[in-house]
Amino acid sequence: MADDLNDTYTYPFDMPSEEAVKFSDGAIAGKPAGVPSSYAEGGSTRWTPEAISEVHALAQLGRYQVRGYNTFNKRMPTFDDLTFVPATMTRLPLEGYRESCDTTTVLGGGRGLVEKPVELKIPIYIASMSFGALSANAKASLGYGASKVGTMTCTGEGGMLEEEREASQTLLYQMSPARYRIDLDHIRRADALEIVVGQGAKPGTGGLLLGMKVSERISEMRTLPVGVDQRSTIRHPDFLGADDLAVKVEELRIATNYQVPIFLKMGATRPRYDVAIAAKAGVDVVVVDGAEGGTGASPELLLNHTGIPTMSSIRAAREALDECGMTGKVSLVAAGGIRSGVDAAKCLALGADAVMIGNGAMIALGCNSPRYYEDFARLGTAPGACHHCHTGLCPVGIATQDPELEARMDPHAGAERIARYLTAMTMEITALAKACGKSSVHNLEVEDLRAMSFEASAFTGVKMAGIDRAFDW
Ligand code: SF4
Quote the ligand 1 centre to 368 CA distance (angstroms).
6
**In this structure, which residue's CA is closest to atom 6 in ligand 1?**
386
What is the total residue count of the chain?
473
Quote the ligand 1 centre to 385 CA distance (angstroms).
9
C-alpha to C-alpha distances, 397 to 150, 216, 385, nearest whole angstrom:
25, 18, 16
Q: Predicted confidence band at 324 (pLDDT cuts at 50, 70, 90)?
A: very high
Q: Which residues does residue 195 pair with via DSSP β-bridges, in sequence order?
A: 175, 264
389 lines ligand 1 (CB under 6 A): yes
146 lines ligand 1 (CB under 6 A): no
Closest-lying ligand 1 atom to the alpha carbon of residue 397: 2
3-state SS assignment for residue 203:
coil
What number is the average pLDDT over the span 211-225? Answer: 89
Quote the ligand 1 centre to 362 CA distance (angstroms).
8
**In this structure, which residue's CA is closest to atom 8 in ligand 1?**
389
Quote the ligand 1 centre to 390 CA distance (angstroms).
9
* pLDDT tens digits for range 400-442: 999 999 999 999 999 999 999 999 999 999 999 999 999 999 9
Q: Which residues does residue 332 pair with via DSSP β-bridges, in sequence order?
A: 286
CA atoms within 13 A on the CB side of 44: 7
409 lines ligand 1 (CB under 6 A): no
Closest CA to 363 of 403, 393, 336, 398: 398
How does strand 124-126 pair with strand 170-175? unpaired
Q: Given a cut of 90, is residue 350 above it in pLDDT?
A: yes
Quote the ligand 1 centre to 4 CA distance (angstroms).
20
Q: Given a cut of 70, is residue 24 above it in pLDDT?
A: no
Question: Range with the lowest mean pLDDT among 62-71, 317-326, 367-376?
Answer: 62-71
Q: Given a cut of 70, is residue 22 above it in pLDDT?
A: no
Task: Return phi, psi of residue 236, to 5°.
Answer: -70, 130
What number is the average pLDDT over the span 36-42? Answer: 56
Asked whether the beta carbons of 471 and 464 are under 8 A apart, the reply is yes
* pLDDT tens digits for range 93-141: 999 899 999 999 999 999 999 999 999 999 999 999 999 999 999 999 9
Q: Write down the pLDDT at residue 235.
A: 87
Task: Return phi, psi of residue 230, to 5°.
Answer: -110, 115
Question: Range with the lowest mean pLDDT among 124-128, 239-243, 376-380?
Answer: 239-243
Q: Given a cut of 50, is residue 5 above it in pLDDT?
A: no
Crossing angle (nearest 10°) for helices 411-435 and 136-148: 40
Asked whether the beta carbons of 441 and 101 are under 8 A apart, the reply is yes
Q: Given a cut of 90, is residue 87 above it in pLDDT?
A: yes
Closest-lying ligand 1 atom to the alpha carbon of residue 363: 4
* pLDDT tens digits for range 144-198: 999 999 999 999 988 899 999 999 999 999 998 877 777 889 999 999 999 999 9
Q: Write down the pLDDT at residue 36.
A: 53
Q: Given a cut of 80, is residue 4 above it in pLDDT?
A: no
Q: Given a cut of 60, is residue 40 above it in pLDDT?
A: no
Q: Which residues does residue 106 pair with via DSSP β-bridges, in sequence order?
A: 119
Out of 3.20.20.70, 3.90.1640.10, 3.40.605.10, 3.60.15.10, the CATH code matching 79-353+390-460 is 3.20.20.70
DSSP secondary structure letter of residue 27? P
What number is the average pLDDT over the span 262-290? Answer: 97
**In this structure, which residue's CA is closest to atom 4 in ligand 1?**
367
How is the chain split into domains, by residue range? Answer: 79-353+390-460
Q: Write down the pLDDT at residue 31.
A: 43
Closest-lying ligand 1 atom to the alpha carbon of residue 383: 1
Looking at per-residue pLDDT, the higher value among 54 and 272 belongs to: 272
Quote the ligand 1 centre to 66 CA distance (angstroms).
14
**In this structure, which residue's CA is closest to atom 5 in ligand 1?**
387
Quote the ligand 1 centre to 147 CA distance (angstroms).
24
What is the share, in percent, of the chain residues with pLDDT greater than 90? 75
Q: Write down the pLDDT at residue 207.
A: 86
Q: Write down the pLDDT at residue 13.
A: 42
Q: Write down the pLDDT at residue 242.
A: 87
CA distance 66 to 211: 13
What is the share, in percent, of the chain residues with pLDDT greater than 70? 91
Q: Predicted confidence band at 224 (pLDDT cuts at 50, 70, 90)?
A: confident
Q: Write down the pLDDT at residue 32.
A: 46
pTM equals 0.90
Which one of 73-82, 219-228, 355-364 scores highest in mean pLDDT? Answer: 355-364
Closest-lying ligand 1 atom to the alpha carbon of residue 296: 8
Is the N-terminal amide bond of 383 cis, ω within 30° of 0?
Answer: no
Longest dimension (CA), the chain: 79
**In this structure, which residue's CA is closest to atom 2 in ligand 1?**
394
Q: What is the mean pLDDT of the chain?
A: 90
Q: Given a cut of 50, is residue 363 above it in pLDDT?
A: yes
CA distance 451 to 467: 10
